[in-house]
Amino acid sequence: MSVLMGTAKAGLKPSGRTDLLVVYSEKPFLVSAVYTKNHFKAAPVIYSKRLTDRRTHFRAFVVNSGNANCGTGKEGLRHAEMMAERVAQNFGLEPEEVLVFSTGIIGVPLPIERVLRAIDEACSSLGPLDLRRASEAISTTDAYPKYAEAPLAYGFGKGAGMIHPNMATMLAFVFTPVKVDFETLRRLHLEVNERTFNSITVDGCTSTNDSFLVLSTLEGEADPADLKKDLYSVALSIAKQIVADGEGATKVGVVEVLKAESEEKARAIAEKIATSLLVKTALFGADPNWGRIAAAAGSAFDYPIDPDRMEIYVGDFLLFKDGRPAGTDLERVAEFMRTHKEVPIRVVLNEGDASWTYYTSDLTYDYVRLNAEYTT
Amino acid sequence: MSVLMGTAKAGLKPSGRTDLLVVYSEKPFLVSAVYTKNHFKAAPVIYSKRLTDRRTHFRAFVVNSGNANCGTGKEGLRHAEMMAERVAQNFGLEPEEVLVFSTGIIGVPLPIERVLRAIDEACSSLGPLDLRRASEAISTTDAYPKYAEAPLAYGFGKGAGMIHPNMATMLAFVFTPVKVDFETLRRLHLEVNERTFNSITVDGCTSTNDSFLVLSTLEGEADPADLKKDLYSVALSIAKQIVADGEGATKVGVVEVLKAESEEKARAIAEKIATSLLVKTALFGADPNWGRIAAAAGSAFDYPIDPDRMEIYVGDFLLFKDGRPAGTDLERVAEFMRTHKEVPIRVVLNEGDASWTYYTSDLTYDYVRLNAEYTT
């Protein structure tokens, strides 16, 4: 493995845990990056996006956790630049070959001197990339590290919703050794992103720092279809780990919309169901409440459904068909929901061949506690 | 007052309270109606919408609470029609002169014989319209009745979000004696609706039964501008009563987006803030978390904001300006939020003259309890 990492402590986390990660490759990475669409972007997102908009090859990236460097004005942008410069100095690179990411509290200036010293320390303690330790170094309120491997790809991430007072961000870095041109990597990346990180929801909120990178070390040949399969598998695993770690979550709802006339429609309806607070609380309460699922499915206003053709399942239990309840024993369905951590919710529109899957967490007391009680 | 009402008990509510209301006018009502945009519509909405799409004058309407008559197939439509026919029989009207509304549990067939008997009873006990009693008769999980009066308009409603297992619906009926043509009434109705019932949110869910009617008895003359002012005042009062009665709500957030370049933009950003779970939990926790407000404001992807021009206030406290924190003492702001039931949140974009206001409830433990624990 030609990818190396180093970690250090800059003292950004109240816990005092490792909060700085540097990843370095002796061969240049071919990089495809996607960032949050939020217009209130953190400084490192603005900084790194400018670079990935005009270059495709990089040698290193640095991530600090515990501070998002967001809402910090011009000083924040200068801090992001200084972080890149310091990594470059350590490795004898140009600053443009280094990307920068941050995650944590919004609106607090970085203690930049401590961060720069930690960068020096991380750069001087390089070892092989360890997915688990890399995830731990960039975690904030995550309950556990998030990483996954497949034959042609491997990666790590962090995120548990945009939780805690001002805590934010989902970050994911997926690597592959496969030699591929930029256009192909970009296409695979965007396709995989739509079906993974862009199809999960914890609280419906879009962070100021969200970033997902695919980095190739361009070492060996493989069929792009095989590469896509493994990028998808790794990204989906990390995405589902994020949902399962959603603030206070006890369950993952897998919302499938099937036999739709278009992917756009399947996706819009799946998103409505996955983000419905009534569906999310019913998931928490193990309540097979098909009325809430039907009402959410009907609320994608641009995509009319035909209630008379729609079928609704929870697990394999048919709950609604022909415009009325299917007469299933709801107590058995509730028992299924109580005893399964992952609950499939299927809406079959019976009008075409398109489908989409969205992953959601349940809405619990702990969600309210985490987000209301931990005040600044 | 030429508007009469009668009530009865059909036994649709577990509490055994009054659950049927008939409203009747000796002079025809000129009626403008708006309904839920949900594609999973309740039978009475489908039935009444067909009528109001092709007629403008009606003599009566009937509302049952405790059962939404939704997800009930063809039988449900027939039941709605039978309710109208029975009211018409009682008053010697054509069935087309009667509108029908329902609110309550989804997916349970109406016990139609009991409903028809209750209609007979309500029609034979007419008295003057009493706004408070009318609201009580159509309430489901509402904690209190909702009504308001102004010189040229008066009305009643119900709604507390789409709460309880399968309980649904916001209903509002606003009356005026002002003589007005249909086109004018329709225009005033739609304008008022956008700034009142279409600018409130409890849980972001769109009910299957939502309906808002304006009914004129065409008695006296008045300036349309004065009429609009009073329709707005009555509708806004009922709308805010619904938000304040949102499931488990302890506070009302009044989200104002000011100095925007267009109303569409002001509205889209206000809606993002008002529906953000992070903003709603911060409201519950009395946490002056401007980072969540800024991140929500930035997440209306079609409407870019400029963080460097944006100002954020809670109450009259300036929290964010020039791209960074304003340095206000946040403990004083938290104290303000703790001690006020209505909390203004103001985002000033400083780019134009347009503004929009959205009304939202806080997200509390009781919201989760009401929606997760009361299982079917």
Average pLDDT, chain A: 92
- A298 vs B40, B300, B305: nearest CB: B40
Average pLDDT, stretch B170-186? 95
State the Cα–Cα distance between residues B235 and B2, nearest whole angstrom.
21
Of A125-134, A333-342, B136-145, the range with the lowest mean pLDDT is B136-145
State the Cα–Cα distance between residues B83 and B79, nearest whole angstrom.
6
Would you call A196 a catalytic residue per the annotation? Answer: no
* Closest-CA distance of chain B to residue A109, Å: 9
Identity of the highest mean pLDDT range in A362-376, B32-46, B149-163, B343-357: B343-357
**pLDDT at A371 exceeding the cut of 80:** no
Residues A307 and A336 sit within 8 Å (Cβ to Cβ): no
State the Cα–Cα distance between residues B98 and A77, nearest whole angstrom.
65
For A7, the token pair is 């970690």
Lookup result for tokens 């999980």: B141
Average pLDDT, stretch B84-95? 98
Radius of gyration of chain B (CA): 22
State the Cα–Cα distance between residues A291 and A297, nearest whole angstrom.
10
State the Cα–Cα distance between residues A204 and A189, nearest whole angstrom.
22
At CA B233, angle to CA B199 and CA B351, rounded to 5? 50
pLDDT of res. B246: 81
pLDDT of res. A205: 66
Question: Using one digit for the tens of pLDDT, what is the confidence trace for B109-131?
Answer: 999 999 999 999 999 999 999 99
State the Cα–Cα distance between residues B319 and A208, nearest whole angstrom.
18
Q: Which of B18, B36, B140, B169 is catalytic?
A: B169
pLDDT of res. B346: 98
Residues B298 and B306 sit within 8 Å (Cβ to Cβ): no
For A266, the token pair is 């399947």
For residues A195-225, one letter each, b for 16 or more C-beta atoms within 10 angstroms of the residue's C-beta and e for the rest, the string is bbbbbbbbbbbbbbbbbbbbbbbbeeebeee
Between B5 and A299, residue with greater pLDDT: B5
Of A5-14, A46-55, A270-279, A313-322, the range with the lowest mean pLDDT is A270-279
Between chain A and chain B, how many beta carbons pairs sit less than 8 Å apart?
225
pLDDT of res. B309: 96
pLDDT of res. B162: 56
Q: Model confidence at A1, in pLDDT bands (50, 70, 90)?
A: low
Q: List the domain boundaries for chain B.
A: 3-244, 252-373
Q: Which of A37, A40, A105, A319 to mutate to test binding with chain B, by most B CBs within 10 Å of its CB? A: A40
Average pLDDT, stretch B180-198? 95
Architecture of domain B3-244: 4-Layer Sandwich (3.60)
Question: Using one digit for the tens of pLDDT, what is the confidence trace for A20-69?
Answer: 999 999 999 999 999 988 888 899 999 999 999 999 999 999 999 999 99
Average pLDDT, stretch A139-159? 93
Residues B368 and A281 sit within 8 Å (Cβ to Cβ): yes
Q: Which of A7, A72, A169, A176 is catalytic?
A: A169
pLDDT above 90: percentage of residues in chain B = 79
Q: What is the DSSP letter of A234?
A: H
A252-372 classified as CATH 3.10.20.340 = yes
**Would the pTM count as exceeding 0.90?**
no
Q: How many CB atoms lie within 10 A of CB A8?
A: 23
pLDDT of res. A231: 97
Which chain A residues touch B299 with a CB distance below 8 Å? 37-40, 205-206
Question: Using one digit for the tens of pLDDT, what is the confidence trace for A71-87?
Answer: 999 999 999 999 999 99
CATH number of this structure's domain B252-373: 3.10.20.340
Question: Using one digit for the tens of pLDDT, what is the confidence trace for A85-117?
Answer: 999 999 999 999 999 999 988 889 999 999 999
Between the alpha carbon of residue A171 and those of residues A214, B178, B358, the distances in Å are: 11, 59, 32
Q: Model confidence at B364, in pLDDT bands (50, 70, 90)?
A: confident
pLDDT of res. A143: 87
State the Cα–Cα distance between residues B233 and A66, nearest whole angstrom.
47
End-to-end CA distance of chain B: 42
pLDDT of res. A375: 45
